[in-house]
Structure 1
Amino acid sequence: MSLSFSSDSEFIKKLSRVVEENLADENFGVKELAQKTKLSRTQLHRKLKSINNQSVSQFIREIRLNKAKELLQQELGTVSEIAYQVGFGSPSYFIKCFKEYFGYPPGVLLKLPPEDVDNEVSDQYNAGQSLTGKNRLGITLRLLVGMLGVITITVVALFVYKNLIVEKKAAIQDKSIAVLPLKNLSDDTDIQYLAGGIMEDILNRLSRVNDLHLKSRISSEQYRDPDISLPELAEELNVSYVLEGSIINNGDRVRIYVQLIEAESDNHIWSKEYNQDLSDIFEFTSDVSKQIADELQVALTTDEVASIERNYTENTEAYNYYLMGNSLLWPHFWHERTKGDMTACIEYYQKAIEIDSTYGLAYAGLAEAYSALAGIGASWIPYEEAVKRCKEYALKAISLDYNLAEGHAALGDCASDFLFDWDLADKELKLAIQVNPNFALAYRYYADYLMIMGRHKEAKEYLDKSSELDPVFILTNKSYANWYYDMGKFEEVLKIHKQSKRFYNSPKTEQFVIFKVNLHQNKNEEAFEALKQYILLDSPDIDYTEKLSAMYSEFGMKTVIQWFTEYYKLHEADNLQIAALLAYLGEKEKAVDYLVELYNKKDKRWRLKIIKSDYDYRSLHGHQRFTALLEKMDLADR
């Protein structure tokens, strides 16, 4: 669609129309709007900024919010339902944005009759005006009076005074930061690990400060070379500030430039250039961390200062090897790990330990590396050996530093994933979160554990926190998909997979998921189409389309699934999925046979941990042999 604009007002009207036409599409954002208008992102951003001083993301969000308000006033759904209708993928994020924009939570509109909502305020909203802090405070007071009626003038006065004081003191209220990897401006690709590692060190130091909200390095890593503006990047990560910079290698010294930026306005808050000897790198990361806390008006406690200044090793060579190990382990966390990568990763961690045998973080890194090898079933190391080393190195990390969140998280995940030691998993993962409340990975590990236990309400809370800290980590999205699948919320599963395609795209996996969620919803036509696509991707040299179509037309979906179950046995040999298909067909004994067979394979047994809560196996609950299998894993009575 090509748009022409005769005036600024016409431009805004047409932009609004395009957004409204795509309102329910949560993936419709700046990029898509720019494509519709035949403008570049930069041109669109500048033009909108010049007209009404808004970013493109802000413009889209405000249209969504105003439409949501209309729907809420008409009581056309619950808060969550309307959040999805207007393109918010997360109801909790919708509630946060709604409250920030209008001054009160969206649920208020469902609880109060329209006449109880202040008319003057409604007029302002319908005109699309953003409300100032004073407007919002007035709205809050009027709503409180309308709802409670019995609040005395004295209490109201105290409430006003308290909020004014709080507002005055909190000059910087949202102290959320994304720490981006340094841009390597030199020709030396060998220091790329250092570019990421330095900023990770700063992030780890700042994560110990309670008043700061840090985004995980894994999310930030996605934006090493961003193709979007800083305000848009901050919008995607849901942060108010961004720390970025560059590094140039110069022999034994490096020149590092760092700058702290207020994301929405793109204004520089602070910047500094360092000409640093690599032997003084710890002093640099500590100095930058304290400077950021100071710029964001954070009053550091004595313990927080000590945490920022603390070095987990005093040896820069050991530190470098640790960073090199990290560079191979974490960026590949959602991709297939190669033998070369993982072998080098472990060697780097081991070299760090050889130099400094008290380096707890390096032991924790080794634990995570061996956990990864156990999980992927690496052929070059026995499964039991990988699990054994994972536990040993995690325990060693904790013995060296009991306040090391990474060590507790590695041990807790090992206990949950491989050892079936549920009490140890619960204890260690809670400790990891307690030690470092900004550690996104620990929240996801604990959420996964809670789902295994069937405690989905609690799991969702920890997933939300993990997502808040690490918005684009692919494994957090996978955990969300598992949560929605367990709960039978299949449309949400599809949304999660669609969102994840930007960072990890597997068409075959996507079609298999579409097949299963439609099957469970009795949408046989959609399930059949997805199954054909899956088989076409899985066996491109053989065309099964005509055969399957005739089978479906003559005998129906059940016969197709029976055929596919046999096909899947030959091509994938995945006992979990075969058991799921058999359970769907009502062949419970055969389904349990495949689960028992999986249990008897020691290197595959760990995959069974999900069967208690997974939607696929609900029909097996109460089956004597299925219950016996849960008892073997100490899951029956949990």
Structure 2
Amino acid sequence: MDNQLSMDEKFLKKLVDILETNLENEQFGVGQLATAMGLSRSQLHRKLNAINGKSTSRFIREFRLEKAMEMLKNNVATASEIAYKVGFSSPSYFNTSFNQYYGYPPGEVKFRNPLNDEDSEEIQTSNDNTATLTSKSRLFNKRTYVIATLAILLIASFSYYNYTNSETTIITENEEPVALSENSIAVLPFKNMSGSPENEAFCDGMTTAIISRLSKIKGINKVISLTSMMNYKDNKKSMQEIAKELKVRYILESGFQKSGNDIKINLQLIDGKSDKLFWSQEYKGTYDSIFKVQALVAEMVAKKLDANITEEEQTDIQQAMTKNMEAYDNYLQGVYVSSNYSAKNYIASRKYFERAIALDSSFAEAYVRLGYTYSMLGTWFGNLSKMKADSLAAPFFKKALQLDPNNLELLYRRAEKELFNWNFKVADSMLNEYTRHMGENFLSDFLYLMLGRYDEVIESINNQIKEDPNALYNKIETVYAYYFKGDIETSLHLMNKGLMLNPNFEFTYDHFGNIYIDMKNYEKAKDVLETGLQISDKRHASMLIHLAIAYHYLGNEKKSLEYLNEVIDRANKGEPEIIVFVAHYYARLGKNDEAFKWLDKAYKKHEVDLIWLKADPNLLMLKNDPRYKVLCNKIGFPDC
């Protein structure tokens, strides 16, 4: 035991030494600490949690706050200056975090009697029961309010939305001036100069290709993601407005025209600070040289941004997906069709990827996309059972792996497959490798949500927002993180913003309904769920079940049973991936025996939504039942 304790102490000391060295570096977070320790993020989290019960992000935050207290007591500098000295991104965030941790703001430290703090520590450590109670009290306080603190950080990036609530304070742009990196860029969606709707897929393909290539050049500090930039398609805002929103210096505005094999590209690089044209170029050529053109555009833009391109990066950005341009055309059409997120569009996209493969049997990306299409129909849309979707996707992923073992898109899709097969450790390992190359990503956040590691999700989202402010409203995991942590107000706010971005995304209404059920606002739950059903081309079982719950608590048992029985009837007829939702109904009504009967059925069918067993508020009321832990262990969750 002593040896083990000594090993733990050495481990903690090494962590502290690394953090001490990087104290002023606000960018030094969980990922950087894990790398410095020679561990993955998950390995570090598990080891630290086993030693002291803390997540890595909490350990880092508390270390910074304790160093700040030392500096404040020694009157090293002002509270605002100390905020930066201990690695906080702003004095406002530091003040809020400090207040939550110590119970009073940093400005009061000099007015307090140091003996009081020492006496308090003695009292806490003199009695095991008291120490436990005090520790729990502090933990409860921090767990309750940590999300509100993080909301301040996130919302600071969006002060123009004027979102307020009683427990947060908005950090305005005057308080937190934005420093624009000189070589940061946003690529606006290419404009279709031909006017032909058929060329929209080529324009989106060009946008994707240029963003992808620029993102591979490490000499460019910041490239806004494709997801965020597609929100600016046909946008009428000025270049200055867009640059300010995205916190970038330059905007690339482009037009693309295709007529037969002839192409024409107009490029304009605009200084977002002055709204003046910085550089322009017109390119005329042939479509069969499109990959060379994409590489050339990326290289020219990088040069204008004074970004150095390494030999490895040069090779990477000059790679061609295929030599068959007709295959590439079909690939782009498939991507374009599936970009409008629905089962119908994913089904429609398959024929394009199949044609691309028929035209070029060595087209790795087309195999990845076709495999992914089948996976989506099983894991996300429920049109296929998970097992059926896996069997259909497997040969395409296998072929892509043979053609291009280092394909990062394939690595990501394989990780997704392992995650939904409940192989959490394998998925985590693959995602750590993917993150090492590509940075923070949706699927890692998704995995951590399932495992209950909400602090890591929010830290990851914070990092992504620093690079791409619009990332906040594009990420459903942001909503989940706040929801699962208990901050319903922020979750609802973000959901509203997501709805504004895409009012036709039917699952947003389902999430809304769930949240309103938790708030016991069953009338609102009913209204938003019925709206979701109206705009959807499918009667989603989850919406029907949540409507059944809402109607039950509204006293309309006839309507409640009508929705419930519709789902049960469909499940009994063999419809895939809906059994677990019946368990939601019985769990919400406190009928545990019925809930576990349906959960056992879902387990035998390997239903996808069982991945949410540890996090889903619809099932959390079952946690005190011994059968819950048994099922949790059978699925393979760590720390049941």
Q: TM-score range by the shorter chain?
A: 0.5 to 0.7
1:404 and 1:432 in contact (8 A); partners too: no
2:310: which partner in 1? 301
1:632: which partner in 2? 634
Q: Once the 2 structures are TM-superposed, how far is the Cα of residue 618 of structure 1 from its aligned partner?
A: 2.4
Query: CA–CA distance in 1 between the matches of 2:318 and 2:444?
Result: 29
1:508 and 1:534 in contact (8 A); partners too: no
2:82: which partner in 1? none
* Code of the aligned partner of 1:566: L
Return the match for 1:566 from 523, 548, 561. 561
Cα distance per residue 1:551-570 (max 9 Å; x no partner) = xxxxx996749777535413
Could you say if the C-alpha distance between residues 128 and 225 of structure 1 is closer, same or farther in structure 2, counting changes exceeding 3 Å? closer
* Code of the aligned partner of 2:453: R
Q: Once the 2 structures are TM-superposed, how far is the Cα of residue 257 of structure 1 from its aligned partner?
A: 0.4
Return the match for 2:343 from 299, 312, 337. 337
2:186 and 2:248 in contact (8 A); partners too: yes
Query: CA–CA distance in 2 between the matches of 1:263 and 1:445?
Result: 32
Query: CA–CA distance in 2 between the matches of 1:382 and 1:539?
Result: 22
2:599: which partner in 1? 595
1:187: which partner in 2? 195
Query: CA–CA distance in 2 between the matches of 1:303 and 1:587?
Result: 60
1:487 and 1:615 in contact (8 A); partners too: no
1:66 and 1:126 in contact (8 A); partners too: no
Query: CA–CA distance in 2 between the matches of 1:357 and 1:298?
Result: 36
Return the match for 2:445 from 438, 447, 458. 447
Return the match for 1:429 from 423, 426, 431. 431
Query: CA–CA distance in 2 between the matches of 1:566 and 1:633?
Result: 30
Query: CA–CA distance in 2 between the matches of 1:132 and 1:520?
Result: 38
2:527: which partner in 1? 533
Query: CA–CA distance in 1 between the matches of 2:388 and 2:340?
Result: 22
Query: CA–CA distance in 1 between the matches of 2:174 and 2:639?
Result: 54
Query: CA–CA distance in 2 between the matches of 1:618 and 1:583?
Result: 8
2:154 and 2:462 in contact (8 A); partners too: no
Return the match for 2:422 from 420, 423, 436. 420
1:369: which partner in 2? 373
2:191 and 2:256 in contact (8 A); partners too: yes
Return the match for 1:245 from 228, 233, 254. 254
Q: Once the 2 structures are TM-superposed, how far is the Cα of residue 365 of structure 1 from its aligned partner?
A: 1.4
2:212: which partner in 1? 204
Return the match for 2:489 from 480, 488, 491. 491
Query: CA–CA distance in 2 between the matches of 1:241 and 1:299?
Result: 17
Query: CA–CA distance in 2 between the matches of 1:453 and 1:473?
Result: 22
Could you say if the C-alpha distance between residues 210 and 403 of structure 1 is closer, same or farther in structure 2, counting changes exceeding 3 Å? farther
Could you say if the C-alpha distance between residues 201 and 583 of structure 1 is closer, same or farther in structure 2, counting changes exceeding 3 Å? same
Q: Once the 2 structures are TM-superposed, how far is the Cα of residue 73 of structure 1 from its aligned partner?
A: 14
- The answer to whether the aligner puts 1:259 opposite 2:268 as a matched pair is yes
- The answer to whether the aligner puts 1:460 opposite 2:448 as a matched pair is no
Q: How does 1:121-132 map to 2 (within 5 A)?
A: none
- The answer to whether the aligner puts 1:616 opposite 2:618 as a matched pair is yes
Could you say if the C-alpha distance between residues 377 and 90 of structure 1 is closer, same or farther in structure 2, counting changes exceeding 3 Å? closer
Query: CA–CA distance in 2 between the matches of 1:269 and 1:207?
Result: 21
2:24: which partner in 1? none
2:157 and 2:469 in contact (8 A); partners too: no
* Code of the aligned partner of 2:455: K
2:343 and 2:381 in contact (8 A); partners too: no
2:178 and 2:247 in contact (8 A); partners too: no
Q: Once the 2 structures are TM-superposed, how far is the Cα of residue 576 of structure 1 from its aligned partner?
A: 4.3
- The answer to whether the aligner puts 1:284 opposite 2:293 as a matched pair is yes
Q: Once the 2 structures are TM-superposed, how far is the Cα of residue 194 of structure 1 from its aligned partner?
A: 0.8
1:387: which partner in 2? 390
SS state at 2:321 partner: coil
2:586: which partner in 1? 582
Range with bigger deviation, 284-293 or 394-403:
394-403
2:356: which partner in 1? 352
Could you say if the C-alpha distance between residues 131 and 284 of structure 1 is closer, same or farther in structure 2, counting changes exceeding 3 Å? closer
Q: Once the 2 structures are TM-superposed, how far is the Cα of residue 476 of structure 1 from its aligned partner?
A: 4.7
- The answer to whether the aligner puts 1:411 opposite 2:414 as a matched pair is yes
TM-score by length of 1: 0.65
Among all aligned residue pairs of Structure 1 and Structure 2, give the percentage whose two residues are the same amino acid: 22
Q: Once the 2 structures are TM-superposed, how far is the Cα of residue 253 of structure 1 from its aligned partner?
A: 0.4
Q: Once the 2 structures are TM-superposed, how far is the Cα of residue 259 of structure 1 from its aligned partner?
A: 1.5
1:113: which partner in 2? none
Cα distance per residue 1:279-300 (max 9 Å; x no partner) = 1112211111011111111122
C-alpha root-mean-square deviation of aligned residues, in Å? 4.2
* Code of the aligned partner of 2:475: N
Query: CA–CA distance in 2 between the matches of 1:494 and 1:250?
Result: 47
2:567 and 2:582 in contact (8 A); partners too: no
Q: Once the 2 structures are TM-superposed, how far is the Cα of residue 327 of structure 1 from its aligned partner?
A: 0.9
Q: Structure 2 unaligned runs (5+)?
A: 1-88, 107-141, 160-168, 535-550, 569-577
* Code of the aligned partner of 2:481: W
Could you say if the C-alpha distance between residues 625 and 82 of structure 1 is closer, same or farther in structure 2, counting changes exceeding 3 Å? closer
1:47: which partner in 2? none
Q: Once the 2 structures are TM-superposed, how far is the Cα of residue 195 of structure 1 from its aligned partner?
A: 1.0
Q: Once the 2 structures are TM-superposed, how far is the Cα of residue 633 of structure 1 from its aligned partner?
A: 1.4
Return the match for 2:280 from 253, 271, 288. 271
1:139: which partner in 2? none
Query: CA–CA distance in 2 between the matches of 1:353 and 1:610?
Result: 35
Query: CA–CA distance in 2 between the matches of 1:535 and 1:408?
Result: 36
2:498: which partner in 1? 500
Cα distance per residue 1:121-147 (max 9 Å; x no partner) = xxxx999699899xxxxxxxxxxxxxx
Query: CA–CA distance in 1 between the matches of 2:413 and 2:435?
Result: 12
Cα distance per residue 1:545-586 (max 9 Å; x no partner) = xxxxxxxxxxx9967497775354135556545434433443
Cα distance per residue 1:170-194 (max 9 Å; x no partner) = xx83533222221112133222211
Cα distance per residue 1:493-530 (max 9 Å; x no partner) = 10111111112226986676555435545xx4xx1431
* Code of the aligned partner of 2:432: K
Query: CA–CA distance in 1 between the matches of 2:98 and 2:396?
Result: 58
Query: CA–CA distance in 2 between the matches of 1:179 and 1:127?
Result: 24
1:165: which partner in 2? none
* Code of the aligned partner of 2:431: L
Query: CA–CA distance in 1 between the matches of 2:90 and 2:633?
Result: 52
Q: Once the 2 structures are TM-superposed, how far is the Cα of residue 308 of structure 1 from its aligned partner?
A: 1.8
Q: Once the 2 structures are TM-superposed, how far is the Cα of residue 217 of structure 1 from its aligned partner?
A: 1.8
Range with bigger deviation, 76-85 or 242-251:
76-85
Q: Once the 2 structures are TM-superposed, how far is the Cα of residue 277 of structure 1 from its aligned partner?
A: 0.6
Q: Once the 2 structures are TM-superposed, how far is the Cα of residue 389 of structure 1 from its aligned partner?
A: 3.3
Q: Once the 2 structures are TM-superposed, how far is the Cα of residue 210 of structure 1 from its aligned partner?
A: 1.9
2:262 and 2:286 in contact (8 A); partners too: yes
Query: CA–CA distance in 2 between the matches of 1:458 and 1:173?
Result: 26
Query: CA–CA distance in 1 between the matches of 2:488 and 2:173?
Result: 37
Q: Once the 2 structures are TM-superposed, how far is the Cα of residue 619 of structure 1 from its aligned partner?
A: 2.5
Cα distance per residue 1:418-461 (max 9 Å; x no partner) = x1122221122222222333xx6xx1011101222222222223
Aligned length in residues: 477
Query: CA–CA distance in 2 between the matches of 1:73 and 1:452?
Result: 26
- The answer to whether the aligner puts 1:477 opposite 2:475 as a matched pair is yes
